[in-house]
Amino acid sequence: MRLRRFAGIACAIAGCLALAPASARSVVDSAGRTVDIPENIAKVFTAGPPASTLLYALAPRDMMGWVRAPRPEEKPYLMPAVRELPTLGRLTGRGDTLNLEQLLADKPDIIVDFGTIADTYKSLADRVQAQTGIPYLLIDGRFQNTPAAIRLLADILGVKERGEALAREAEQTFADVDGVLAKVPMDARPRVYMARGPEGLESGSRGSINTEIIERVGGVNVVEGLREKGGLVKTSLEQVIAWAPDTIVTLDKGFARGVAAKAEWKPVPAVASNRVFFAPELPFGFVDSPPSVNRLIGLTWLSHKLYPTQSPGDLRTQVRAFFHLFYQVDPNDDELGRLLDGAGG
Amino acid sequence: MNLPRTFVLLAALLIAVAIVAAGVGPYRIPPLEVVRAVWQRASGGDVPGAVGTVLFNIRLPRVLAAAVVGAALSAAGAAYQSLFRNPLVSPDILGVSTGAGLGAVVGILFGLPVALIQLLGFAGGLTTVFIVAALARTLRGGGDILVLVLAGIVVGALAGAAISLVKVLADPYDQLPAITFWLLGSLAGVKSSDVAVTTLIVLAGLAPIILFRWRIGVLSLGDDEARALGVEVRRLRGLVIAAATLITSAVVAISGVIGWVGLMVPLMARLLVGPRFDRLLPASILLGAGFMIAVDTLARSAAKIEIPLGVLTAVIGGPVFVWLLARGRDRGVR
């Protein structure tokens, strides 16, 4: 029994190795690895939530499933075709929930990971590729790299036209924010604290992938990092008061609702002046979780929140257009209201 | 050093540490201003502005919370070490911290408000030890301490496995960091209302331990000897376990899991005042409170970000403990 299973895997690996060169072309991924990929790709396995979101935006028909199946409240904001796709598990670093045999049984054409390019992930990609024979591509997930990342995956998947449209929109979003920032003098830029966790005392330090968007929108992240690249940190209320942020962006609905009533948060200027913004989280988070193309609309949203007079256009119209282009859904007024005003955002 | 002097010294040390802690923090308040604000508040006035909020809503509750947590874990540890007749026992031997951790982690997974997460932690700790006690009772009529410890290990391992499962299921971007930070222990989010409730529960749990300190001391002689001296061993043991569990669950619910303190502080106290429980208990309480305030002050002011308490207790406590051990051996007080 076991022997047969092993033999099956061996055949599968041999099959992939034998088949791959026949109709292959090679691409260079963001880590500089040259990877041979099949000409026609129809099934893509995504290693983590950022890659899932990127794939959904570019080529939803190539999706095999989600890292975590969509929750009921998220489903109205997703295309009907992908709402019921199964949970497949994740493959990136922080505790795999995926079995390699299962991966082989599902027979993806390629595996894509979208995020930090580090030697850990590079070696993981090499190992999984060697073990399974499935081409494994790494795409740089830094926010500024979004247009290039979209173009790279679009090229790999053979959906260049759609990729170009999305990449242009990404570039336009960045350009719009730069236009707004040109009108806002340095000393008028907000000092932002990103509150995460149920108590609002977790945050990301400067340079972390979780808070990139704050710096991109011209804000100063008050959380100085201990390491150059930053990461998630735990802090204390006294420290937040000492940092004196004038703006708080939060990912936690409970925190956003309750903070105004908490006496101990009163000395924080952002709370005193009622500048606590809850980032919308449907179907994907607007400012983080996951750090992927969903942050583009988060950038527009933040620009409107931080610079209401300088930001061009109407936020609702822009959200509608983004959802139409990237997520291929048209939320009705009700859904849009729930999305944007759900928690006083 | 004679005994009364040791206790006076420990108390003085605790007070000194508390005063220093009240003056230190990322929000700079000059020492004189701290004294003035405390005086103003004590004489019925109100301290306006950020200084008042930082001092009375954030920093002092946290110092008090640290004292309560340290004292509670140390007292529970001392009681268990006498009860199990083994100085290597910590309050977690029956799985209380792991159970509390599981409760809280489930709360985080379901995105519950903080108060409910704390309540679940408290309930998780109590439930776990209740299951352990019931299991031991079914297996061996509740008479055997070894069965009790083994049941604790088994149930604790189960709870630990459940925590790991929750971690795997949690959202890696939101919930997993929150769970990790919680399991490392921190007093960063403590509020005065938390401290008030916890202090009441801890006092309720400490009362029987203090009242029965003589009999608990007799327990450390062995069950038969204790029985010969007229102690109802089984009932007393049940009472001590209930009290220690109550205390530990209450503090773990607000602080997260903090290792080492409940094991190390009673051992330090033993090196200072000897193994007699009626002396060991007050010494552990004083030492534990002072130690925890010092550690928490470091945790909140050594860096711009919080350093987990579980990390600091081990890093600071380890060397101090080795030093005390070496000193104790020189003087033959082991």
Contact A180, A310 (CB under 8 A): yes
CB contact under 8 A, B177 and A205: no
Q: What single-letter amino acid sits at A222?
A: V
Task: Give A2-167's CATH code, choosing from 3.40.50.620, 2.130.10.10, 3.40.50.1980, 3.40.50.2300.
Answer: 3.40.50.1980
- Please write the tens of the pLDDT for every residue from B179-198: 888 888 888 888 888 899 99
Residue B63 CA to residue B65 CA, distance in Å, equals 5
- Please write the tens of the pLDDT for every residue from A237-259: 889 999 999 999 998 888 888 89
What pLDDT was estimated at residue A20? Answer: 47
CB contact under 8 A, A95 and B168: yes
E strand intervals along A235-330 = 247-250, 276-278
Take residue B299 and report the two structure tokens written for it.
């945790």
Q: What single-letter amino acid sits at B245?
A: T
CB contact under 8 A, A224 and B54: no
Which residues in A have their CB inside 8 Å of a CB on B?
48-49, 68, 90, 94-95, 97, 196-199, 201-202, 205, 210, 223-224, 226, 232-239, 241-242, 251-254, 258, 263-264, 266-267, 285, 288-291
Q: Least CB-CB distance to B58: which of A223, A264, A285?
A: A264
CB contact under 8 A, B306 and A234: yes
What pLDDT was estimated at residue A104? Answer: 80
- Please write the tens of the pLDDT for every residue from A122-174: 888 888 888 888 999 999 999 999 999 999 999 999 999 999 999 999 999 99
Q: Is the pLDDT of residue B106 over 50?
A: yes
- One DSSP character per residue, B55-115 reads IIIIIHHHHHHHHHHHHHHHHHHHHHHHHTT-TT--GGGGSHHHHHHHHHHHHHHTT--HH
Residue B81 CA to residue B157 CA, distance in Å, equals 21
- Please write the tens of the pLDDT for every residue from B127-168: 999 999 999 888 876 567 888 899 999 999 999 999 999 988
Domain that holds residue B249: 65-330
Q: Angle B145-169/B175-184 helices, nearest 10 degrees?
A: 150
- Please write the tens of the pLDDT for every residue from B249-262: 999 999 988 888 99
| B54: in domain | no
Residue B76 CA to residue A24 CA, distance in Å, equals 67
Q: Which runs of consecutive H residues, i.e. helices, occur in chain B?
A: 3-23, 31-42, 49-52, 60-83, 96-109, 114-140, 145-169, 175-184, 192-211, 213-219, 223-228, 233-255, 261-273, 277-301, 309-330
Give the residue range(s) of CATH 3.40.50.1980 domains in chain A: 2-167, 185-341
Categorize the per-residue pLDDT at A54 as very low, low, confident or very high, splitting at 50, 70 and 90. very high
- Please write the tens of the pLDDT for every residue from A65-80: 998 889 999 999 999 9
CATH number of the domain to which B244 belongs = 1.10.3470.10
| B233: in domain | yes
In this prediction, what percent of chain A has a pLDDT beyond 70? 88
CATH 3.30.230.10 fits A185-341, yes or no: no
What pLDDT was estimated at residue A162? Answer: 96
CB contact under 8 A, B113 and A254: yes
| Set of chain B residues whose Cβ sits within 8 Å of the Cβ of A263 | 53, 57
CB contact under 8 A, B173 and A210: yes
Q: Is the pLDDT of residue A15 over 70?
A: no
Which residues in B have their CB inside 8 Å of a CB on A?
25-28, 49-50, 53-54, 57-59, 62, 108, 111-114, 117, 167-168, 171-174, 176-178, 181, 186, 188-189, 191, 300, 303-306, 308
| Set of chain B residues whose Cβ sits within 8 Å of the Cβ of A233 | 305-306
Quote the mean pLDDT of chain B.
88
Q: What is the CA radius of gyration of chain A?
A: 21
Residue A285 CA to residue A49 CA, distance in Å, equals 11
Q: Least CB-CB distance to A266: which of B53, B181, B306?
A: B53
Q: Least CB-CB distance to B113: which of A198, A223, A241?
A: A198
Domain count, chain B: 1
CB contact under 8 A, B172 and A90: yes
Q: Is the pLDDT of residue A345 over 60?
A: no
Note whether ipTM > 0.85 here: no
How many contacts, defined by CB atoms under 8 Å, are there between A and B? 113
Quote the mean pLDDT of chain A.
86
What pLDDT was estimated at residue A128? Answer: 83
Q: How far is B192 from chain A (nearest CA, A)?
A: 10
What pLDDT was estimated at residue B1? Answer: 55
E strand intervals along A30-103 = 34-38, 44-46
Once rounded to an integer, what is the mean pLDDT over residues B208-216? 93
pTM: 0.79
